[in-house]
Amino acid sequence: MKLNNDKSKKDFKKEIDVLRKMKDSKNSVKFFSHFDDKENEILILEFCECDLQTIIEKNNKLNINQIFILLNKLMKVLNICKVKI
């Protein structure tokens, strides 16, 4: 990721802080580390077989129980991050 202004650098630092807060969460991708070279900021994250969009597209529809499970996991992550919605 290229960070070419102060706002993007600040946002990237916030992202790292959020990932660190979620380190023990079962409901989010694991953050291992980050580093930069002269041009890019690089995140080292857990490998995931697929993403939420792929799951939804593959299943075409989610039933109410699947939606509840996904929302429950999302709310847990948001609570860890203290994100207000």
pLDDT(1) > 60: no
- pLDDT at position 49, please? 84
**Which residues constitute the domain of residue 63?**
6-81
For the chain, the domain total comes to: 1
Residue 14 falls within a domain, yes or no?
Answer: yes
Cβ atoms of 29 and 40 closer than 8 Å = no
Distance of CA 54 to the CA centre of its chain: 15
Q: How confident is the model at residue 85 (pLDDT cuts 50, 70, 90)?
A: very low
1 within some domain: no
Residue type, 2: K
Amino acid 8: pLDDT: 79
pLDDT per position as a tens digit, 10-35? 888 888 888 888 877 777 788 899 88
To the nearest 10°, report the CA torsion of 13, 19, 21, 22: 170
**11 token code pair:** 């946002």
At residue 70, does pLDDT exceed 80? yes
What pTM, to 2 d.p., does this model score?
Answer: 0.61
